């Protein structure tokens, strides 16, 4: 029988090792505090996803129902 191995990841906020198991309530974060720090960074736009802005032509607008 195979021995089960527990995968470990680093907390995105503090870097502490976190076991990837159902018991790790805040995974991939190590704690609620680290989870809330990350959420706050997204809420204040400290973290952003880059997006390209594109101009829509009349055909695009018609296809969207405008």
Q: Residues forming the annotated binding site for Zn(2+)? A: 11, 14, 30, 34
In the DSSP assignment, the letter for residue 54 is -
What is d(CA 36, CA 23) in angstroms, rounded to the nearest whole number?
A: 19
Binding residues, by number, are 11, 14, 30, 34
What is d(CA 50, CA 48) in angstroms, rounded to the nearest whole number?
A: 6
């Amino acid at each position: 029988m195979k021995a089960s191995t527990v995968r470990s990841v680093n907390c995105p906020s503090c870097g502490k090792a976190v076991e990837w198991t159902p018991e790790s309530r805040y995974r991939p974060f190590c704690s609620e505090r680290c989870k809330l720090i990350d959420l706050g960074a997204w809420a204040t736009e400290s973290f952003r996803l880059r997006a390209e802005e594109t101009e829509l032509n009349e055909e695009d607008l018609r296809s969207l129902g405008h």
